[in-house]
Amino acid sequence: MKPARFDYVAPTNLDDALSALAAGGGEARALAGGQSLVPMLNFRLGGPATLVDLNAVDELAFVEPTEEGGLRLGAMARQQTLEHDPLVRIRAPLLAEAAPWIAHAQIRSRGTIGGSLAHADPAAELPALLMVLGAQARVARAARGSESGARIERASSLCDLYLGPFFTSLEADEILTEVEIPGLRVGEGTAFAELARRRGDYAIVGVAVRVRLGADGLCEDAAISLINAGPTPCLAEDAAAALLGEVPTPAAIANAAEIASLQCSPAADMHGSVAYRRHLVRVLTNRVLLRARGRARERVV
Ligand SMILES: Cc1cc2nc3c(=O)[nH]c(=O)nc-3n(C[C@H](O)[C@H](O)[C@H](O)COP(=O)(O)OP(=O)(O)OC[C@H]3O[C@@H](n4cnc5c(N)ncnc54)[C@H](O)[C@@H]3O)c2cc1C
């Protein structure tokens, strides 16, 4: 099928893009890499009156270091950047480790960071990866009515962004402009694993973790996020909390993995039952926590 008719605008700066979205009165959509939106339009799953193409908005396509040792990723930075940019490898090695699992190389060369976050697929890797790293999203819209200034901006934690499958707290006139990721701290290690039927397929289940160890070997901080184990990307908070203040022995890690598998809420589909997905959450959480613990130990001073 071909999409229904729509108007098309291609602004070259963020303010014009925000104005075009606002002028759409709720019937305009941003077009980023088009890797999810264009197939949806072709299947006539939703028909915006106007497409606001962000591909010429160069100010949204960046990867920059922050003074605190972290990273800022512009919404129009391509997913392939995560795989190849040396700065990402050093400052957010979790993203470089997981990027090859996001779709196929051809899709990563067009698909964007902002598009993946805004699309809110519970099986997507990036929302869960950025959540476990404690990233903050920045969102902008044009001023409405009596508001002064051309642009209104707000920050959102990734947890607050996701309301349901393919459903975010972004309003129709808002653009997600960037995410900021804190730098890796001393004693901190991250790791990722997923099971997919074939390389490039969406995850049946995936897990990303971050642990921080003190000089005494105790776990000072931990975060575990699950991919395709619930209606939204989600943090397994009780599982991570079970590690705090503990030496992350294999038994403590197995306990955290068990909690994650009991408390997640996966759905069954043709690729796996609920029981199978819970099993995968337990096995993968155990595996990546052990790996992250090893990496954290190498960074303890
Ligand atoms: C065959 C195939 C396999 C795939 N496998 C995977 C996979 O394994 N893992 C995975 O994570 N993804 C996968 N994808 C999806 C791919 O990663 C997409 O690139 C991504 O989901 C959407 O990014 P995009 O830049 O293409 O966004 P688009 O398709 O252009 O937009 C997606 C949605 O986000 C909105 N949007 C885009 N940018 C913004 C913004 N800055 N602010 C507000 N709203 C915005 C659009 O309006 C639209 O609603 C796959 C896609 C295909 C076709």
102 lines ligand 1 (CB under 6 A): yes
201 has pLDDT over 80: yes
Report the pLDDT averaged over residues 264-271. Answer: 94
Amino acid at 180: E
Distance 212 CA to ligand 1 centre (A): 31
Confidence of residue 147 (pLDDT cuts 50, 70, 90): confident
22 has pLDDT over 80: yes
Report the pLDDT averaged over residues 227-242. Answer: 95
Distance 193 CA to ligand 1 centre (A): 21
Report the pLDDT averaged over residues 72-89. Answer: 97
DSSP states along 197-227: SSTTSPPSEEEEEEEEE-TTS-EEEEEEEEE
CATH of region 189-298: 3.30.390.50
Domain boundaries, the chain: 7-53, 58-181, 189-298
pTM (whole model) above 0.75: yes
Report the pLDDT averaged over residues 180-198. Answer: 96
CA torsion through residues 120, 121, 125, 131, sign: positive
Confidence of residue 150 (pLDDT cuts 50, 70, 90): confident
Strands (E), the chain: 7-9, 28-31, 50-53, 63-65, 71-74, 136-142, 151-157, 162-164, 167-168, 174-181, 188-195, 205-213, 219-227, 234-235
Output the pLDDT for position 217.
Answer: 95
CA distance 52 to 12: 11
CA distance 41 to 48: 9
Strands (E), 26-129: 28-31, 50-53, 63-65, 71-74
State percent of the chain over pLDDT 70.
Answer: 100
State the Cα angle at 102 between 98 and 104, rounded to 5°: 130
37 lines ligand 1 (CB under 6 A): yes
CATH of region 58-181: 3.30.465.10
Mutate to test the pocket of ligand 1, among 83, 107, 126 (most ligand atoms within 8 A of CB): 107
Lowest mean pLDDT among 197-201, 206-210, 233-237: 197-201
The CATH-assigned architecture of domain 7-53 is 2-Layer Sandwich (3.30)
